[in-house]
A = this chain, B = another copy of it.
């Protein structure tokens, strides 16, 4: 009676596809009542932390050919296998980007601000979507009180500039980790940059912050840097790399920023080193400490490079970790 087999499921479907032009269901010249939209739905997602309304804002996701050294301390074949296991496009690696907006009731704080519109022009709108998605969420960039940077890499900081170079969030105080500012703004460090990637990073920070140094506040670790938002030392990815605890009432979440780059690689394999780390051994040490605690506390973790909506729980799995993405909540 039941004859579910591969031929039926797939060969049958392929036949249908091949015969699409002469499909018995297709009426020549007919047009559906709604034209294809050709664009994705808005990429924002709201969640509550106590009295705070938070919004994950998708800046997009970038797929690029797997660099030979994307993971610096394992053979490329292992990285490629991890990408395939995550169903990334063949031969590519996909990195998503997700700033977080925190509305405390008294302040609007944007934590990291994405790639900026002009950064990766060849990706045709796949990144630099923060302003568009803030608008979709009903948030005027002029209303942002604070832009709080986890660190000063381009994908986190370049979004402070609009496409024309003006300030994207003209009324916002810009807060940066004091240690990252000192590191990236040091001409001595810049002169020692060991490769083109690092040279570009030093040049980028100078370009992005040129003329707005007076708007920048440097913050330290282990401080309440904005209402209910505490800065946590998680160095290694960069010298000043910072995570945040957002706490209100009895609720809290951990915003990990780049404790890992993509979790399919570096949360699953916490001893893998991403090419972007300035101190990979320290980053690895930070990663274990951070996830051991997050797992023990069953904390909700928000990851800048987790797939949108970028929220989940981290569990220990032997010497590895696993990420359990949170279910989409249709209400908040």
Contacts and interface: CB of A to CB of B under 8 A. Distances in A.
Nearest to A328: B308
A136 B225 CA distance: 37
A224 B325 CA distance: 36
Contacts of A227: 20, 23, 25-26
A92 to B, nearest CB: 12
Interface string A220-251: 00101111111011110000000001011111
A104 interface: yes
Contacts of A203: none
A49 to B, nearest CB: 10
A288 to B, nearest CB: 10
A327 B41 CA distance: 14
B224 A25 contact: yes
A316 interface: no
A17 B137 contact: no
Contacts of A14: 247, 252
B328 A9 contact: no
The SS class assigned to the A binding surface is: loop
B2 A103 contact: no
A253 B190 CA distance: 50
Which interface residue of A38, A282, A329 has the most chain B CB atoms within 10 A?
A: A329
Interface string A2-35: 1111101110111011001001111100111110
A259 B168 CA distance: 48
A197 interface: no
Interface size class of A (residues with CB under 8 A): 35 or more
A45 B36 contact: no
A138 interface: yes
A94 B247 contact: no
Interface of A: 1-6, 8-10, 12-14, 16-17, 20, 23-27, 30-34, 36-46, 50, 53, 58, 60-61, 85-88, 94, 96, 103-108, 124-127, 129, 136-140, 142-145, 222, 224-230, 232-235, 245, 247-252, 254, 282, 285-286, 289-290, 293, 296-297, 299, 307-309, 313, 324-332
Given A10-B245, A17-B252, A33-B140, 20 more contacts: A5-B293, A6-B293, A8-B233, A9-B254, A9-B297, A12-B222, A13-B247, A17-B50, A20-B228, A20-B249, A30-B106, A32-B105, A32-B145, A33-B142, A39-B332, A41-B136, A61-B327, A125-B330, A129-B330, A308-B330
